Homo-oligomer: A and B are copies of this chain.
Amino acid sequence: MIRTKLESRLVGARKNLPKGAKAVLEALQKAPGMLSARDLSFRMKLSHHTKEEQSKSPGLTTIYRSLELLTRQGLVQAVSFGDQEKRYEVVEPGCHNHHLVCKSCKKSIKLRECLLASLEETIKRDYGFSVSEHLLELFGTCQSCELGTNLDNTDRR
């Protein structure tokens, strides 16, 4: 069977990811929240133990490339908070999340559903505009920070 690598990826999807991308996906799955590329690189190095092993974890370039690939495949979502740095998280294939980001403890809560899905037809009606993508992140204070009961200072984005 003649089939380019690109083609088999489209068929096999996440089965035949390059080694680097697999490693990135795994690291991202283990992570407690969203990670920047640099965070990822750091965590992946730590998860190896000997110095030799550490040198085996993918370089930043590969991490960026893998994130791009995984994002294209819909396995990972890039999240932008309006600052320079993008964060990444694993998603249900093809789905996306929005977040409540606590400005105090920096933790983020995933919204259980996309608030905009229903609004997009209203927009089509009112503005004649077909929405295909959107950016939505909410910032504020989470319950435990508001009540002062939050004892966990982990900066867990």
Residues of chain B contacted by A70 (CB below 8 angstroms) = none
B142 touching A134, Cβ below 8 Å: no
Assess the A140–B129 pair: CB atoms within 8 A: yes
Whether A100 lies near B80 (C-beta < 8 A) is no
Say whether A138 faces chain B, with CB atoms less than 8 Å apart: yes
A133's contact among B120, B123, B139, B143, by CB below 8 Å, is which? B139
Q: Residues of B contacting A139 with CB < 8 Å?
A: 131-135
B103 touches A129 (CB 8 A): no
Task: Say yes or no: is A46 at the interface (Cβ < 8 Å to chain B).
Answer: no
How many residues in A have their beta carbons less than 8 Å from beta carbons of B? 36
Nearest-Cβ distance from residue A85 to partner chain B, whole angstroms: 10
Does residue A115 face the partner (Cβ distance < 8 Å to B)?
yes
Specify the chain B residue showing the minimal Cβ separation from A86: B82
Interchain CB contact under 8 A, A100 and B132? no
A109 at the interface (CB under 8 A from B): yes
**Cβ-based interface call for A102 (8 A):** yes
Instruction: List chain B residues, Cβ under 8 A from A111.
Output: 127
CA gap between A146 and B127 in the complex, in Å:
12
Q: Are A140 and B130 in contact (CB under 8 A)?
A: yes
